[in-house]
Amino acid sequence: MTRFAAPIAEQIWDMKYRLKEAGGAPIDQSVEDTWRRIARALAEVEQDKAGWEDRFYAALEDFQYLPAGRIVAGAGTGRSVTLFNCFVMGTIPDSMGGIFDNLREAALTMQQGGGIGYDFSTIRPKGAEVHGVAADASGPLSFMDVWDAMCRTIMSAGSRRGAMMATLRCDHPDIEAFIAAKSDPARLRMFNVSVLVTDAFMAAVEADGPWDLIFGGRVYHTLQARDLWNKIMRATYDYAEPGVIFIDRINAENNLNYVETIAATNPCGEQPLPPYGACLLGSINLSRLVEDPFTEAARIDPARLADLVATSVRMMDNVVDASRFPLEAQAQEARAKRRIGLGVTGLADALAMMGLRYGSDAAVAQTGAWMEAIANASYRASALLAAEKGAFPLFDAVAYAKAPMILRLDPEVQALIAEHGLRNALLTSIAPTGTISLFAGNVSSGIEPIFANSYTRKVLQPDGTRTEEEVVDYAVALWRDHMGDAPLSDHFVTAQTLAPMDHVRMQAAAQPWIDSSISKTINVPADISFEDFKDVYAEAYRTGCKGCTTYRPNDVTGSVLTVSEAQDKPDGREAAEAAGGEIIYMSEPLDRPAALEGHTYKVKWPDSEHALYITINDIILAGHRRPFEVFINSKNMEHFAWTVALTRMISAVFRRGGDVSFVVEELKAVFDPRGGAWMNGKYVPSILAAIGGVIERHMVSIGFIAGEGMGLKSDPQAQVVNLGHKPGPACPSCGQYDMRMAEGCLTCNSCGYSKCG
């Protein structure tokens, strides 16, 4: 019997988490092998390695505890990757040299697969005087553009693009430009952006008072606080960004406010971190813990939950010692505080299995109770770990005992902390779990509601045939197993039908027990009024949330995977069927036909003795011609190794399908520090950029893209069949139109790709 609850779960495992040899042959023969690999790696730091390996395996088994994807993919592999999910970089100095030193550190961090956050509030505003060079400052947004370009050229470990978060204080003189930056859909594409909102600003908004924009003690401009707030609200209403981070609340609630000040978060916002702060993440899968689901006796056993939490905390603490770090400063910061972020996933499924409607009073109360139990169990486990292995180095018993989170814990847990200290300075966080939720059988993600009860996934098989695959929410599938064809109970509710304030209530219920923060997206309908939209943020602030992220379908980001489950046809087929759909996603690379048509192009790079010859062969799928493979040849042996590598990499990308035009963009962005060349009246920054230009012209000639610098020639949205869905943006990894906004991040339901890394 397979361990996987759905075909997509096994496919996610094979694509993302299964250990394989360099040539693709699997090392992990089963998911049990993957669990064993992780358990063995994380038990290496224990004295009783075999005993703890078995206990760790038992926690991982059946997807009860889900380490974050980087741990699942990297632990026990011997690869030079970080097992930490997210970092906040050092404070950016207000100097050109310091700024570019930070850019270098960011690049090194992204190479190992870490998502990163920055506070750009330390950079002087646009137009400010730069002493000593007789020039005006270009402002923080200009440097954000530099970071954005860097991120586009670096692929994170596991073939993921890097993810970044940029924050700016609400009193920075360039805040209005920052708020408006993402109105241009082509700008800052690699960034999530959020405004650091202070308590003083919110008070000024409430009083409709003035608000000073200040840098270096100088007031640059004064405006009405409510006008600035409305600009923030209008921007996120129109194009979903910027997010809002209540930074004073974060610092006041921080257990470590006696040794650190926070000004930035990781890309999805669930980890407010100090300079060089790092955090690793993991989730308790509540849906796997519900006993006797859909009955009056449905429950989660408190003792079983507490035991699983304790084992998970120990595993995560061991990751601090087992992981590599891109920078020594990050290693020192992690070891000084031993921060971890244990959260949950499958919450909405668990509530449905308990007969509770997500967002109801009973569900809010149950959520708070589960989070309280997890918090107490986490801190209890960390205190006992401190007794065994020692407290984190910066633990100060007197200062730490004053933290609001500590004062909320059970007296027995507070007493343990006072006696032994804590192994981990912070312990709880609710992170995005999009991919690992699919891996665990399509359980509901994080603390989000069920996004859709089911949807149809399209897969192109290697022989060119098309298959349809129903992907069913875990709790819905379990209902079918228990209840047969009985209609779903009223306890099942999806993100599309949930009232926005119900989202807020659920986030607020969890927040008191989360010492870091929560990654959550509040989905709101496109027709929500602006005033009602603003009320969502006001309620989030009033009820103690540390931040707020909403998503409203809009013209800039598109209508991401909206679901219309009520529009089914009488015969059971859903209303969104369309004829002749071209399916883009491929489960495996296509086999090469015996013969392909193509073209060969000659590129003569100035000052080079030999020309390059670039052959591009095409394949025809569903009546459309698309690039399939590339060969690059030259008599210049200096080029041999990199041209072979480039040939293999580009061909591998082409054979996976999807909108592969991004290859052109990446190649054309490469610059040679020795200088480029003028070719046919255009400056080309490198020989790789010249190759990108050739591939682009070929794509134009076969009709794959509309023109130089343009996208696909025909709109696949009109052709791809996604039953039950209105098309949104295509996934940049697999090409499917299954992107959704969840937990503050665009995530693909088909392949698990996440914009946030």
Q: Annotated catalytic sites, by residue?
A: 266, 268, 270
* Partners of 272 in beta bridges: 265
The Cα 52–Cα 41 span in angstroms is: 11
Q: What sign has the CA pseudo-torsion 281, 285, 289, 290?
A: positive
Helices (H) and strands (E) in the chain, counts: 24, 32
Beta-bridge mates of residue 634: 612
CB 366 within 8 Å of CB 351: yes
What is the C-alpha to C-alpha distance for residues 752 and 739, in angstroms, rounded to an integer? 9
Pairing relationship of beta strands 210-215 and 218-224 according to DSSP bridges = antiparallel
Q: Pairing state of beta strands 562-563 and 164-169? A: unpaired
Q: What is the DSSP string of 337-353?
A: H--EEEEEE-HHHHHHH
Q: What 3-state DSSP class applies to 221?
A: strand
**Amino acid at position 168, single letter:** L
Q: State the CB neighbour count (10 A cutoff) for residue 680.
A: 6
Residues pairing with 700 in the sheet: none
Quote the DSSP letter at residue 14.
I
Task: Give residue for tokens 């408006």.
Answer: 180
Cα 282 to chain center, whole Å?
14
Q: How many residues are listed for the chain in this entry? A: 757
Q: Which residue has tokens 């004295």?
A: 47
- Please list the residues that pair with 613 across neighbouring strands: 602, 633
CA dihedral for 533, 536, 539, 544, sign (positive or negative): negative
| C-alpha to C-alpha distance for 581 and 177, rounded to whole angstroms | 42
- Spatial distance between the Cα atoms of 51 and 638, rounded to a whole number of angstroms: 54
For β-strands 745-748 and 522-523, DSSP reports them as unpaired
Residue type, 227: D
- Beta strands 454-460; 466-472: pairing state: antiparallel
User: Across the strands, what pairs with 132?
Assistant: none
Which residues, 6 or more positions from 33, have their beta carbon under 8 angstroms from its beta carbon?
19, 27
Burial of 753 (0-12, 13-18, 19+ CB in 10 A): buried
CB 237 within 8 A of CB 533: yes
- Locus of tokens 């883009």: 584
Q: Six-digit token pair at 637?
A: 């042996």
Q: Which residues are paired to 472 by β-bridges?
A: 454
Question: What DSSP line would sit under 279-305, residue for residue?
Answer: EEEEEEEGGGTEESTTSTT-EE-HHHH
Calpha distance 84→117 (Å, rounded): 14
Beta bridge partners of 119: 167
Q: How far apart are CA 402 and CA 196, in angstroms?
A: 25
* Backbone phi and psi for residue 630, each to the nearest 5 degrees, phi listed first: -135, 140
Which one-letter amino acid corresponds to residue 713? K
Contact yes or no for 483/355 (Cβ under 8 A): no
- Measured in whole angstroms, the distance separating CA 558 from the mean position of its chain's CA atoms is 18
Name the amino acid, one letter, at 393: P
CB distance 149 to 7 below 8 Å: no
Q: 567: burial class by Cβ within 10 Å (0-12, 13-18, 19+)?
A: exposed
